[in-house]
Amino acid sequence: MSETGSAAPAAAAKGGKTRVQRLATTLTVVVSLGMIGPVARADTPPAQAVVDVVAHEDDDTLFLSPDLITQITRNIDTTTVYITAGENAPGATQSPELYATSRQVGVLSAYATMAGVTGCAVGAAGASGCWTLTTQTFANHQVQQYSLTSRPNVRVIFLNLPENADTRYNSGGTLAKLWASTIPNTNTLAVSAAPVQNYTRGQLIDVLNAVMTAYSATVVRAQDPAPDLQLRPDHEDHTPASLFAGAAEAAYSATKPRVMLEDYHDYNIADLAINMNAAQQAAKKNIFENQYMPNDVFVQYGAAFNDTYAKWEQREYERDPRGTNWVTTDGANNIHAFVVQGGSLYEWVEHPDGTWAAPINHGNPGAPLANGVFVAHDQDGRMEVFGQRLDSYNIISLYQSGSSWSWADVGNPNTGSDAAQRVSTPAVTTNGDGRLQIFVRNGNGGICSKWQVAINGGFVGSWGDMGGTNAQGQPSALMTNDGRIELFAPTVTGILHWYQPTANGGFNTDTTFPQAAAASGLTVAKDQDGRFELLTRQAGTANVTTTYQVSVGGSWAGPGAFGGQGGIGNITVVTDTSGRVLAAEHNANGGISFSEQTAPNNAFGGWTDISGVAVDDAAGITGPNGRTQLMAVNYDGKLYYSQQGTNNAFAAWQPAG
């Protein structure tokens, strides 16, 4: 054990700053609370539609799948835009243009197979092919668009900008240079008789925005805008492709505010735990190796393939998951759900009588927000929602102040360096005296913390460094029954654990915590008797595991797996009125499944699929009627809820508000 006193919360019983005098910079916005006064209905979201934006012709099947496979299988309108022609193939005998054409055939074959289309030439257009080829105009630029003839809501668009290594254009590095405005414009390649176009930086953003507008995107999926430099390096085109997609989504959200942006890690997922079950791995491998790969002469089996493509086929990781801590209740027994859409924070309120108010748009603190938000309560019961800006990556909060809400900037432990953009979204819990404490993964792979100086007050000025190495993603923390915080963080190979030996004090590190690679984020549950259980997914199977305390405040055992129905993402936990812990997961079919302890403090039972479809993780709460309620966001941008009945079964999903 070792003391890490720098992260001690140092209680201030008197004389701390009031909420109005917060140490953090505060911006104030006034919004009517759902339970206090009338609210204006937010804009109505369109039907379900996903626009994927990637750099190259294999980035979607490698890094956005199995989500891509699920959305097509579930008949959700899908448009994928490939920004570059992907024409660079070192040592290839084909010309760059012919290689790009061949890769496009691989894309068509992969998508037709994902859509279950048979009886035609899957990689071809025309009378004998599966595809209809048209020339479309978006923002005054002509592009080639292929639509599945029998499933016209599946389409792919090729923009054909030069790939990074093609030095014939702009001496190489075209996409990065275009984003940085170090070149004024670029021509596209002449691929498959596509008309050659010229793009400026702004025009490329406009074209992507026009595609999102034309197909009424409710979800935009893109690549990693800020890869983790502690892991393997990324391709030079991936980051600018993600930044262009994000800029287009920001412009699109000005008229369609309810769109959701999801970014995905790329090359470096090979360094993380396998987070797909065998069936999902097989489906992804089939699409890539049997449909796309025969058309890509650059991709060949061998040692390099085994260290890259074979590993990518087994994994998919979102950069900023929504998480599972975005629902809470207030003192009047209203349920509140907070979801980021279009970079702004929306709030849904369910009253004790079961009626829902229309969603409230709280806006943002001056810049778009990341998806992951965490809801906590100050000691006086007021709600405080924590999140992260996407410009500075600073941690922010939205807190109640009477009948209004105010934004506060809590800062970033790596301000002033490139590492600031690799700081995680926050986890928050309460100290024994009621003061909130924030935990983040810092940009160097350790954990940093801030805490309130006084109860209900502002946060300390500097971040405390708690140490740790190779942490990945958001940490997880919870307060014990005797007022002590226990903190957990996943790493590439295991789990870091800290704990307060006394309430409101500093933290010790636990070097004896059971080690196993986590294939998702971590979620802490509290059993009826006060013991903690740490839930995550098992590497290689995606089954749900629990590592649990043998006695209250004592040693840990596990991890032990208790099954699941596949899928990717964090585990949701809710403790019902009987004291049993319920676990829920985003399953392999795109829906939500649950398992519950057979009795308080006992093992978990089998898994049940509630059906329906969700974009990502659910959140849960025990409602004022004593029943467990799960909530999730669908591809249409609406919040849905399902309530558990007296027979433990969950009802069909219903829209909220």
Which domain CATH number covers 414?
2.120.10.70
Q: Domain boundary residue among 465, 483, 513? A: 513
Quickly state the pLDDT bin for 403 (edges 50, 70, 90): confident
pLDDT recorded at residue 7: 57
251 and 168: one domain? yes
Residues 204 and 134 sit within 8 Å (Cβ to Cβ): no
Q: What is the mean pLDDT of residues 166-174?
A: 97
pLDDT recorded at residue 360: 96
Q: What are phi and psi of 507, to 5 degrees?
A: -115, 145
Q: What is the mean pLDDT of residues 505-526?
A: 97
Whether residue 66 is preceded by a cis peptide bond, meaning omega within 30 degrees of 0, is yes
Give the Cα separation of 556 and 524 in Å (integer): 13
Give the Cα separation of 466 and 450 in Å (integer): 11
Q: How many CB atoms lie within 10 A of CB 40?
A: 10
86 and 231: one domain? yes
pLDDT recorded at residue 657: 77
Q: What is the mean pLDDT of residues 304-327?
A: 97
Quickly state the pLDDT bin for 244 (edges 50, 70, 90): very high
Q: What is the pLDDT of residues 286-300, one digit of tens each?
A: 999 999 999 999 999
393 and 298: one domain? no
The label of the residue with tokens 């140092």 reads: 10
pLDDT recorded at residue 647: 85
Residues 301 and 568 sit within 8 Å (Cβ to Cβ): no
Domain that holds residue 415: 1-23+383-513
Task: Please indicate, yes or no, if residue 130 is contained in any of the structural domains.
Answer: yes
Q: What is the pLDDT of residues 11-45, one digit of tens each?
A: 433 233 333 333 333 333 332 222 222 223 344 44
Query: Mean pLDDT across the chain, nearest whole number?
Result: 92
pLDDT recorded at residue 402: 86
The label of the residue with tokens 């102040």 reads: 401
6 and 155: one domain? no
Quickly state the pLDDT bin for 9 (edges 50, 70, 90): low
Q: What is the mean pLDDT of residues 140-153?
A: 97
- Tell me the C-alpha to C-alpha distance, in Å, between residue 596 and each of 477, 570, 585: 21, 16, 12
Name the CA dihedral angle for 549, 555, 558, 562, rounded to a multiple of 10 degrees.
-10
Residues 600 and 622 sit within 8 Å (Cβ to Cβ): no
114 and 212: one domain? yes
Residue 284 reports pLDDT greater than 80: yes
Quickly state the pLDDT bin for 90 (edges 50, 70, 90): confident
pLDDT recorded at residue 3: 37
Q: What is the CA radius of gyration of the chain?
A: 25
| List of long-range contacts for 593-597, beta carbons under 8 Å, 24+ apart | 593/564, 593/565, 593/567, 594/630, 594/650, 595/544, 595/562, 595/563, 595/564, 596/648
Give the Cα separation of 395 and 215 in Å (integer): 33
242 and 307: one domain? yes
62 and 19: one domain? no
Give the Cα separation of 356 and 641 in Å (integer): 11
pLDDT recorded at residue 8: 55
291 and 390: one domain? no
130 and 193: one domain? yes
Task: Please indicate, yes or no, if residue 461 is contained in any of the structural domains.
Answer: yes
| Cα–Cα nearest to 553, from 532, 525, 522, 523 | 532
Q: Domain boundary residue among 491, 513, 535? A: 513
Domain count, the chain: 2
72 and 182: one domain? yes
